[in-house]
């Protein structure tokens, strides 16, 4: 049996007035709900690790159900959908992307996907529909489309699927709707040549999806109360990394540099969180300026000014050591092959020629753990005194 790729699927269902049309018995929405219930049942029978969330759009989009793989719960929420209002399609897709991204921040994130079920009759609003679709594509979130019935605007539905890298199912009858549901339910077969582990390794994507830690003044009353209950009234404003209220780096109060994880509400100084990030071994995480919460592993964004400050301090320390030793610090450079690199390191560029690396190509990596820049073999030989162009370290290669 083929190996399956678990997915987090957002079912984005059009529940506007046009979905009451009876060209599908008893109407378009009821037929769509029945098909989606079959889709969910079949998918979870063959892949119980997939999960589903539900977004509906009437006058405004609404998150009906968070991600779950409990069939009865999903079916009950699908049955609860009611027809009414117009369809703000752009806002519905924007909410669907937001729901998918929130799940992507978790350490056990699955492949995200949005299934848009609509007849294509939607309300145009100030939100740029295709800007949302392009954002989805930039985050590797594909949008598959069930186009229900004969619509006057099928081009929009087709463009949504194409721009996002998804597929469109032209559903023109109840029978083709059933076929589309079966096809979607069984199409998450793993490609042996595809590394699904690279889903969220790209530093640019990591930076986009990471959540901003909450400031003290950002907390809702419920969040603040939860923190007090979990940590005690006296220490809910103490960093869970350094166990102090005063920031050891800036010497400021927790109110100024303290932050909370938006997922588990653990408190920490933003400089302590940056130090935690620097101590981790995942290179792609470091390159993206993000880190995992030390407690729940939720993906968090390190403010760029804090990352820059740490980098300047590191370079300043290196410069100081260089002055004291009257020469650059020496590190052992390492010879590697691009086939051994982790995914997106392939797309970094050589500091000498500024060209990216090719498959099965030998490269030299700077041995400075705070640098790690990579060079083409021929470019490395051109370095003045074998000093790294990025960090200035003296590199030796054996």
Is 152's pLDDT higher than 60? no
pLDDT, position 226: 64
pLDDT band, residue 385 (cuts 50/70/90): confident
d(CA 9, CA 113): 5
For residues 224 and 108, state if they share a domain.
no
Q: Select from 139, 159, 193 the last residue of a domain.
A: 193
Q: What is the pLDDT of residues 161-188, one digit of tens each?
A: 999 999 999 888 889 999 999 999 999 8
- Pick the more confident residue, 326 or 392: 392
Higher pLDDT among residues 343 and 104, named by residue = 104
CB-hemisphere CA count at 13 Å for 267? 31
Distance in angstroms (rounded) separating the CA atoms of residues 357 and 348: 7
Separation of alpha carbons 133 and 141, rounded Å: 9
Model confidence at 35, pLDDT cuts 50, 70, 90, reads very high
In contact, 323 and 330? CB cutoff 8 Å:
no
The DSSP annotation for 16-51 comes to SGGGG-TTSSS-HHHHHHHHHHHHHHHHHHH-TT-E
Residues contacting 77, CB < 8 A, separation 6+:
54, 64, 65
**Do 169 and 110 share a structural domain?**
yes
Residue 320 inside a domain? The answer is no
Q: Which residues of 245-371 form beta strands (DSSP E)? A: 258-260, 267-269, 290-292, 299-301, 330-332, 334-337, 362-365
Number of compact structural domains in the chain: 3
Amino acid 183: pLDDT: 95
Pairing mode of beta strands 142-148, 168-171:
parallel
Which structural domain range is residue 238 located in? 203-308
Q: What residues pair up with 116 in beta bridges, in sequence order?
A: 12, 145
And the tokens for 97? 């992307």
For residue 198, being part of any structural domain is answered with no
Q: Cis ω on the peptide bond leading into residue 26 (within 30° of 0)?
A: yes
Q: Are residues 185 and 64 in the same domain?
A: yes
Whether the Cβ atoms of residue 329 and residue 394 lie closer than 8 Å to each other:
yes
On whether both 251 and 188 belong to a single domain, the answer is: no
Taking only the tens place, the pLDDT of each residue in 274-325 is 888 888 777 777 777 888 898 888 999 888 777 666 665 655 555 555 555 5
CATH number at residue 357: 3.30.60
Strand-pairing partners, residue 359, are none
Structure tokens at 85: 């209002």
Tell me, yes or no, if the pTM score tops 0.85: no
> The domain that contains 179 carries what CATH number?
3.40.50.410
Which residues touch 44 (CB under 8 Å, ≥6 apart)? 50, 69, 71
pLDDT in tens, 225-275: 666 655 555 556 788 888 888 888 878 888 888 898 998 888 899 888 888
CB atoms within 10 A of CB 204: 13
Judged by average pLDDT, the poorest of 33-42, 222-231, 311-320, 365-374 is 311-320
What is the domain-level CATH number for residue 289? 3.30.40.10
User: Of the residues 193, 214, 233, which one is the last residue of a structural domain?
Assistant: 193
- Is there a single domain that holds both residue 174 and residue 281? no
Q: Has residue 380 got a pLDDT over 80?
A: yes
243 and 336 belong to one structural domain: no
Burial class from Cβ neighbours inside 10 Å (0-12, 13-18, 19+) for residue 126 reads: exposed
Residue recorded with tokens 């998150």: 63
Look at residue 357 and give its three-state secondary structure. coil
């Amino acid at each position: 049996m083929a190996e399956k790729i678990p997915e987090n699927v957002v079912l984005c269902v059009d529940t506007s007035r046009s979905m009451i049309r009876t060209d599908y018995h008893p109407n378009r929405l009821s037929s769509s709900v029945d098909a989606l219930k079959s889709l969910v049942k079949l998918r979870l029978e063959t892949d119980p690790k997939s999960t589903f969330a539900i977004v509906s759009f009437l006058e405004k989009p609404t998150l009906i159900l968070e991600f779950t793989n409990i069939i009865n719960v999903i079916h009950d929420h699908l049955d609860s959908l009611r027809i009414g209002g117009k369809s703000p399609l752009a806002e519905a897709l924007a909410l669907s992307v937001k729901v998918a991204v929130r799940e992507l921040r978790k350490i056990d994130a699955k492949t995200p996907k949005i299934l848009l079920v609509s007849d294509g009759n939607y309300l145009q609003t100030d939100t740029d529909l295709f800007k949302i679709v392009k954002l989805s594509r930039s985050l590797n979130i594909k949008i598959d489309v069930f186009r229900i019935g004969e619509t006057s605007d099928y081009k929009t539905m087709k463009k949504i699927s194409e721009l996002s890298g998804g597929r469109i199912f032209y559903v023109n009858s109840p029978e083709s709707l059933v076929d589309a549901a079966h096809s979607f339910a069984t199409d998450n077969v793993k490609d042996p040549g595809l590394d699904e582990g690279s889903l969220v390794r790209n530093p640019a994507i990591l930076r986009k999806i990471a959540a901003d830690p909450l400031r003290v003044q950002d907390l809702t009353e419920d969040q603040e109360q939860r923190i007090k209950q979990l940590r005690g009234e006296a220490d809910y404003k103490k960093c869970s990394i350094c166990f102090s209220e005063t920031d050891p780096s800036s010497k400021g109060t927790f109110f100024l540099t303290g932050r909370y994880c938006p997922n588990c509400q653990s408190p920490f100084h933003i400089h302590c969180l940056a130090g935690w990030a620097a101590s981790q071994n995942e290179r792609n995480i470091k390159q993206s300026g993000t880190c995992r919460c030390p407690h729940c592993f939720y993906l968090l964004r390190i403010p760029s000014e804090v990352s820059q400050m740490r980098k300047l301090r590191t370079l300043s320390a290196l410069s100081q050591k260089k002055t004291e030793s009257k020469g650059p610090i020496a590190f052992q450079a390492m010879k590697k092959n691009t086939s051994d690199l982790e995914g997106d390191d392939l797309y970094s560029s050589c500091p000498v020629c500024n060209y990216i690396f090719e498959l099965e190509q030998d490269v030299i990596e700077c041995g400075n753990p705070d640098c790690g820049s990579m060079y083409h073999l021929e470019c490395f030989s051109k370095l003045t005194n074998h000093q790294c162009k990025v960090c200035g370290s003296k590199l030796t290669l054996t």
